[in-house]
Amino acid sequence: MQCALRLEKRVNQSLLHLHQLASNKSDAHLCHFLQSHCLNQQVEFIKELGDHITTLRKMGTPEVGMVEYLFDKLTLGDSDKN
């Protein structure tokens, strides 16, 4: 999950760089698109991943299988039922 967080942060940095380039070129449409369809969602997802990592750390690692099971139950609920 930490690798996913690092990847999302890199994607976010790339989007911010693209936004800066669009701003420098006075491309208001691209700036608006990036802000409304990419950047906000990216930040929310990064926060969510960070929260999940924090939760996993708080749960500890004595019995990894049990920690993963509890984490899945707490985050996914009963979505595994048909």
CB atoms within 10 A of CB 34: 20
Domain that holds residue 12: 2-76
Supply the CATH number for residue 6's domain: 1.20.1260.10
Residues belonging to the binding site are 8, 42
Q: Determine, yes or no, domain membership for 68.
A: yes
Residue with tokens 């990036």: 34
**Number of structural domains found in the chain:** 1
Indicate whether 82 belongs to any domain.
Answer: no
Classify residue 31: in a domain, yes or no: yes
Q: Is 53:68 a contact under the CB 8 Å cutoff?
A: no
Q: What residue numbers does the annotated binding site for Fe cation cover?
A: 8, 42
pLDDT tier at 77, thresholds 50, 70, 90: confident
Q: Which among 35, 11, 9, 40 is positioned nearest to 22, based on CA atoms?
A: 35
Residue 81 in any domain: the answer is no
For CA atoms 20, 23, 24, 27, the dihedral sign is positive
At 23-71, the pLDDT tens digits run 999 999 999 999 999 999 999 999 999 998 888 787 776 556 676 777 7
Gyration radius of the chain over CA positions: 18
User: Would residue 37 count as lying in a domain?
Assistant: yes
The answer to whether position 32 is within a domain reads yes
